[in-house]
Amino acid sequence: MTFLTVQTAPIEGQKPGTSGLRKKTQIFREPGYLENFVQSIFDATGGAASRTYVLGGDGRFFNSEAIGVIIRMAAANGAARLIVGQNGILSTPAASNLIRKHGTDGGIILSASHNPGGEAGDFGVKFNAANGGPAPEKITDAIHARTLAITTYRIAEDAAPGIGETGRFTIGDMQIDVVDPVADYETLMRELFDFDAIANLFAGGFRICFDAMHAVTGPYATRILESTLGAAEGSVINAVPSPDFGGGHPDPNPVWARELVAIMNGSDAPDFGAASDGDGDRNMIMGKGAFVSPSDSLALLTAYANLAPAYCGRLAGVARSMPTSRAVDLVAERLGIPCYETPTGWKFFGNLMDAGKVTLCGEESAGTGSSHIREKDGLWAVLLWLNILARDGRDVVQLRADHWRSFGRNYYSRHDYEEIPVDAADALMTALRGRLANLPGSKAAGMEVSTADDFAYRDPIDQSLTGAQGVRIAFTDGSRLVVRLSGTGTQGATLRVYLERYVGRGGDHEQDVQAALAPVIAAAEALTEITKHTGRSSADVIT
C-alpha cells in the first residue's frame, strides 16, 4: 500500500454554511477540491491518526467516487477504522445513530440535503462530531481556516475496495466495516415507538402514502413501514434512490412534493401522507386534504409525545429555530417545560440535547427530531405521528383542528426569493438592519411595530455568542416577520421571509393561509422593499 503526499494550494470559498459545505457538483469534481476539504476536516480536528469515523451519503451523483476518495484519504491519514454504509449509502439520521452507537470520533456525510442532485446539481460534505451532530461553529470555523492554509493532502495510491457487500475489509492498516444502512436505525426506532400499536393500525386497514422522492429514505421506509409494520405494499412511492432524484427536487414541501399532494387531495386519499428529503432528515406531514405545517407538526408532536413509550413523562424541554412559528411555545408553556429559541441550523440544538435540557426540537424548514440522535430525522417524525394516531384514535385533520381550538392557530408561511444577486441581497439586509432602531412605534402598511432586532444567540451551555442570525420584527397585534439570508444555497443569494400571525382561541382557524397573512405580507414589503432591491414582485417558492 503506497500513501502519497500531494502538493496542493488553498481554494477560496470552502466555508461551511448552515449545514456543511454545499457547492455545485462540478465544483466538487474539480481537481483537489474534495481532497482539500476532507484533509482540512482531518487537520482541523486533531488529525485522523488512530481515529474511527462513520462514512456515507445520500447516493446522489458523485457519492460513490467521493466515498472512494475519502476511504483512501482516511487510510493515508492513519485512521484506524471506518464504518461505511453499504454502497456508500447512509441517511443523515442513520449516520448520526451509527456515530453514537459505536462511539466513533465523528462522521463524514455526503449530501446537499434537499438541493437537487445530478451532474448539474449540488453536492455537499458535512462533518459530524462525536455526539453525532453537525459540527458546531468553532469546528467549522477551524476547518475553514485550515482550507485557507493547506499545502498538502494525503491519499492512498491504490483504488478503494468495493463496498457493495457488507463485511469487514482492510486497506493498509485501516479496517473498513461495511454495514447494512437500515438495520441499526430500525433497531433504534423499535426502542422509541409502540410498533405493535402501529402494526395494529395498518392491520385495521389504515392507509399511508410515503413519498421517498427518489432519495435515500426509500429503503428505510420500505423496510420499516411495509416489511416490519405491515403497511400495504406500494405504500412507499418513488422508493428507489436515484443519483439525480428522478430529475426532481427532493425537498418535502407542498411545492416540490406535488405527487404526494395530489394523492392526498384526491378522492381516494389515504389516511396519512408523508415525504422525506434527499438525505432523510426532513419530513412533510399530510392528512386527507390537509398539509400540516412543520411548525404545527412540532407543536402537535410535543403535545402528544406522551403517547410514545420513549417520551411518556420524559419531555425535559423543547427547542425551535428562531424563524419557526411560536405554536410550540404555547404547548411548552401549558406542559410547564422550557422552550428554547436557537438560530437556524440543527447544530445549535446539540449542546441543549447533550446537556439534557431538550428532548424534542424542530424547525420551519421541515425538520423535526429528538435527543435519540443529534440530527433531525424524517422517518422518526413519521413514526411518532403514526404512534400518536394509533394510540389516540383521531385522524390528522381532527387532531389538528382540536389543537387549534385549544391553543389558537399560528398562521405561518415562508416566502423564498431565490438566486438573487448577492449584492442586492446584502444591500436589502443592510438597509433593513440600519432601520431597526427606529422601527418600534412606527407603522408599516397599517401594522404597528412593537419590537425589532437582529437575532443574536448566547448558547446557554458553552456561552458562545452567534450574531446576525436574522431580523425579527414583532407587531403589536402579535404578528411577526423574520427576514434572513439562507445558508444552504449554491447560486446567488436566497432571501427568506417568514410570516406569522396568531389567531387565538375562539377565532377563525380555517382561513386560507396567505389570505390570513395578507397584512403581514404587506408590512413585509413596506419594511424590506424587496421589489426595489431585487426587482422581484413575487416570491419564487411559497411554502
Residues that bind ligand G16 (CB under 6 A): 18-19, 113-114, 277, 281-282, 321, 344-346, 363, 365, 367, 486-488, 496
Collapsed DSSP state (helix, strand, coil) of residue 253: coil
Residue placing its CB nearer to ligand G16 in the complex, 416 or 525: 416
Instruction: State the helix-helix crossing angle for 92-101 and 378-392, rounded to 10 degrees.
Output: 90
Minimum CB distance to ligand G16, residue 132 (Å): 14
Beta sheet of 21-24, edge-to-edge order? 21-24, 122-128, 107-110, 52-57, 81-89, 174-179, 167-171
State the nearest-atom distance from the C-beta of 350 to ligand G16, in Å.
Answer: 11
Q: Measured between alpha carbons, how far is 133 from 227 in angstroms, rounded to an integer?
A: 29
Question: Which is nearer to ligand G16, 316 or 541 (by Cβ)?
Answer: 541
- Sequence-distant (6+) residues with CB within 8 A of 187 are none
Find the shortest distance in angstroms from Cβ 446 to ligand G16. 29
* Smallest separation (angstroms) from ligand G16 to the CB of 74: 23
Cα dihedral 251, 253, 256, 258 sign: positive
Q: What is the DSSP string of 54-75?
A: EEEE---TTHHHHHHHHHHHHH
CB of 124 to ligand G16, least distance (A): 8
Catalytic residue among 96, 113, 295, 479: 113
Dihedral angle of Cα 10, 56, 122, 44, to the nearest 10 degrees: -20
139: enclosing H helix or E strand: helix 137-147
Q: DSSP secondary-structure letter at 246?
A: G
113 assigned to active site: yes
Cell numbers placing 262 = 395530489
Residue 423's CB is within 10 A of a number of other CB atoms, namely 11
CA separation for the pair 25, 117 (Å, rounded): 8
> Which residue has 434527499 as its cell numbers?
278
Q: Maximum distance among all alpha carbons in the chain? A: 73
Tell me whether residue 277 or residue 329 sits nearer to ligand G16 (CB atom).
277
Q: What are the beta bridge partners of residue 320?
A: 341, 362
Buried b (16+ CB within 10 A) or exposed e, 103-112: ebbbbbbbbb
Q: How far is the CB of 494 from ligand G16 (least distance, A)?
A: 7
Number of Cβ within 10 Å of residue 541's Cβ equals 17
Q: Which residue number, 427 or 485, has a Cβ lying nearer to ligand G16?
A: 485
Q: Which residues are catalytic?
A: 113
